[in-house]
Copies of this chain bind each other. A is one copy, B any other.
């Protein structure tokens, strides 16, 4: 699996998570080889947190895990697409999708609804 994927100079590859049922694009994060291998083995999304510099099981704190239904690779071998069943919301700000802002009339307007309170789940302001 790993050997066909072109990781960048930092050893990372972007991974898009898409809701397997609705098609909604939920988030984009990064994987290193370990994250991709574990995602393939366990069929639960693992990423690499660039800010925390470590492997990140999505949902390890919030419980909002992503069960992986499909793993896809693009033509250039340098982007992963996961089709997932998302528990709760994907976004640490409390939205279903991280893409809750839309360019409209000269500003990035929020057009998503919060579905959970991040303060309650993470215990602090993110």
Interface residues contributed by chain A, number (CB under 8 Å)? 33
Q: Mark A101-113, 1 if CB is under 8 A from B, else 0.
A: 1110010100000
Evaluate whether A75 and B103 lie within 8 angstroms (CB atoms) in the complex, with A14-B14, A25-B16 already known: no
A99 CA to B81 CA in the complex, in Å? 7
Contact A40 B103 (CB under 8 A): yes
CB-CB under 8 A from A117, the residues of chain B are none
A24 CA to B103 CA in the complex, in Å? 21
Q: Mark A1-37, 1 if CB is under 8 A from B, else 0.
A: 1001000000000101010001111011000000000
Contact A16 B28 (CB under 8 A): yes
CB-CB under 8 A from A28, the residues of chain B are 14, 16, 28, 74, 79
